[in-house]
Amino acid sequence: MKQGKYLNSASRFSLITLALLLSFSSIVFAQEATADEGAAESETTAAAQGGDAAAGKALFNANCAACHKLYSRATGPELYNVTERRDRDWLYRWIKNNKELRDSGDPEAIAIYEEYNQTAMNLFPQLTNADIDDILAYTDTPKPEPKAPVNAGGGAQGGGGGVSSTIILAILAVVLVMLVAVLFLVNNTLRKFAVAQGVELPVKESRKPIWKAFVENQFLVLVCVIVLLLGGAYFAYGWMMQVGVDQGYQPIQPIHYSHRIHAGDNQIECKYCHSSARTSKTSGIPSLNVCMNCHKSISEVADQTSEFSSVTEDYSKEFYDKEIQKLYKATGWDPATQSYSGETQAVEWVRIHKLPDFAYFNHSQHVSVAGVQCQTCHGPVEEMEIMYQNAPLTMGWCINCHRETDVKMDGNPYYEKIHEELSKKYGVEQLTAAQMGGLECGKCHY
Amino acid sequence: MRNSIQILGSLVMLVLLASCQDKDYRNYQYMPNMYEEVSYETYGNYDVFPNGMEAMLPAEGSVSRGWMPYGYEDSTEGYEAAKANLKNPVPYTEDNLNEGKALYTIYCAICHGDKGDGKGTLAKREKILGVPAYNDQGRAITEGSIYHVTYYGLNTMGSYASQTTEKELWLINHYVLDLKDALDGKPKRAFENADSSETVTTDEAVEEHQMTEEAQTEE
């Protein structure tokens, strides 16, 4: 019976691997199929309108996409099927020089100018009629159908692939436990057989209990006590030294902000958002207007299947999209009408790096003057999905860096004289922060 | 029996010790005498302030020392006026250009690209689309229009006045025009001589300039 169960789990295992293999192959198939469809679609539209939709897409992304989207309103109106709504000659004139068209008193042109809060569209004199045909061919591309069924199937099977490693581990554990049980049972039955057959099993001699032997060996007891005392002291000291150190502190933030996506994948410069690190003592958390610089036009993260995916297995696209919606709620931005409602709610971020109030730390003199890399103190932030404290921020850690780091003297007229005098005093060419007086109490604690 | 109770007890102790420091919470502190601020901390959250925010807005219309309000309003007319009339008060020197380049790399290159051709990382990854090159004919940027757009933002682009100072915007301005010249294939501008004969420091020049702008628009 036990053997039967073992067989069963083995067959299940092979079934799962089969499913896994199948799932991979089906995903590949699905992608090929959709790609073919898309190509076919664009070809048919291009043929119908006399414009090249592929070339139009490039032109659209370079010139128009700053203000227009195909299927939803942005700064300007959505452009899908604009050729059905407007006359083609009117479109040529409007796109090339909409100001001229408005000045000529065209009622249609003035109406649309008024509808969009008198935001003037840019002029595109460099576009030829053929270019515009291409762009218009692209705007006629119907919205790609959501690949929901394919994705859902792929997702579920992919999920199975993700879970399968734990399943395999569990199966292995079960198999091990069964093996132990089987061995135990075999041993037992063999003993029973031996007793029944009258075979004498070797009987172990009873020896002196080990604890008695241990107590009698005075030297061993002494050594053990010393080892225990030393070990105890080691752990007690280690425990006391970590009191008040927040290394690894990783609280849950109100919005799941990912430094990995922003600073890692997209390579946004650290000081883009934390701009006050250049000039101020406090390198502040960016205000929400900095978020909206980009997220005015980025309301969703990339698809999971895309080449530039930011989505991981742990966090889905839906999860990230919901986090961006939290930002819109906080700023009062309505992506449908592309306007601010005026109802704002500050985001209460949780501060991670915190020095006690009696220590003075100034970001700008470390970042701008000394040119210390952000990662030196804050760790590999561009790889952190969730921010945590990388350095211990203890006094010993500060002092250590001041002892080892040379002060950046070149191109800084403030240091010219000081360098000359101090390097003579210490007999060195480069001065560390410690030699400049960077270990004095008053420098940080006043 | 007693033995197993001891083992169990020591296990519980170990677990308790291990759970003393949880990464979701700050570690405990020993006698935190001067750890917490008595004064208000930057960006702190305190009940006395409206909305709990320590960072309150200054009174509208107030002018702090060393700063002058920008004279052109945030509208199409203001944009056209700035494009035509606004001039860069910061001298075009090599140091200033290098500073402008450093700032450009931080704040602008992510979309506009290192060469100003609209092919920054975000544009390449198709996160933000439609970033024009600086020599785009329909836009025909001037130093006034660059300043106006970086100060207020325009349509999809946001304002950068909160991340940079006025002088830094002008430094970036120099570098943007430099990139535009490079894209157009024009030769590089000759550096101005920033000698001390003028005795006006750059900051003062910015201030003075903006005061005159203010006066002009009031007229």
Q: What is the torsion angle, in degrees rounded to the nearest 10, for the CA atoms of residue A233, residue A234, residue A240 and residue A245?
A: 180
> What residues of A are in contact with residue B35 (Cβ under 8 Å)?
356-358
**In-domain check, residue B149:** yes
Q: Is A206 on the interface with B (CB under 8 A)?
A: no
| pLDDT band, residue B9 (cuts 50/70/90) | low
Query: Does A266 sit within 8 Å of B122, measured CB to CB?
Result: yes
**In-domain check, residue B52:** no
Is residue A232's pLDDT more than 90? yes
Rounded distance, CA A237 to CA A416, Å? 45
8 Å CB contact between A388 and A249: yes
Find the domain containing B159 and state its range: 76-184
Distance from the Cα of B83 to chain A's closest Cα (Å) equals: 14
Taking CA–CA distances from B74, the nearest residue in chain A reads A119
| CATH number of B83's domain | 1.10.760.10
- How many interface pairs between A and B have CB atoms less than 8 angstroms apart? 141
Query: Does A348 sit within 8 Å of B130, measured CB to CB?
Result: no
Is residue A168's pLDDT more than 50? yes
Rounded distance, CA A334 to CA A327, Å? 11
Nearest residue to A302 (alpha-carbon basis) of A265, A254, A338 = A265
Query: Does A119 sit within 8 Å of B118, measured CB to CB?
Result: no
Interface test with A, best of B3, B10, B16, B23 (most A CBs within 10 A): B23
| pLDDT band, residue A42 (cuts 50/70/90) | very low
| CB interface of A with B, residues 110-149, below 8 Å | 118-120, 122-126
Q: Is A327 on the interface with B (CB under 8 A)?
A: no
Query: pTM of whole model > 0.80?
Result: no
SS3 A334: strand
Number of structural domains in chain B: 1
Distance from the Cα of B210 to chain A's closest Cα (Å) equals: 22
Q: Which two tokens stand for residue B177?
A: 């025009």
Q: Is A248 on the interface with B (CB under 8 A)?
A: yes
| pLDDT band, residue A396 (cuts 50/70/90) | very high
Is residue A222's pLDDT more than 50? yes
Nearest residue to A29 (alpha-carbon basis) of A145, A159, A154, A160 = A154
What is the model's pLDDT at position A154? 38
**In-domain check, residue B47:** no
Task: ipTM value, please give it.
Answer: 0.79
Mean pLDDT of A229-240: 95
CB nearest to A243's CB, from B27, B128, B163? B27
Query: Does A249 sit within 8 Å of B26, measured CB to CB?
Result: yes
Dump pLDDT digits (tens) for B143-200.
Answer: 888 899 999 988 888 899 889 988 899 999 889 888 888 888 877 777 777 554 444 4
Dump pLDDT digits (tens) for B86-95.
Answer: 888 888 888 8
Is residue A300's pLDDT more than 90? no
**In-domain check, residue B214:** no
What is the model's pLDDT at position B196? 46
Please provide the average confidence, as pLDDT, over all residues in chain A: 78
Q: Which two tokens stand for residue A270?
A: 């650290």
| CB interface of A with B, residues 253-272, below 8 Å | 265-269, 271-272
What is the model's pLDDT at position B17? 55
Query: How is B121-173 classified by DSSP, letter by letter?
Result: HHHHTTSS-----TT-TTT---HHHHHHHHHH-BTTBPP-TTTS-HHHHHHHH
Q: Other CB atoms closer than 10 Å to residue A231's CB: what's the count?
A: 10
**In-domain check, residue B6:** no
Distances (CA, A) of A337 to A72, A290, B82, B131: 9, 20, 29, 22
What is the model's pLDDT at position A231? 96
What is the model's pLDDT at position A185? 95
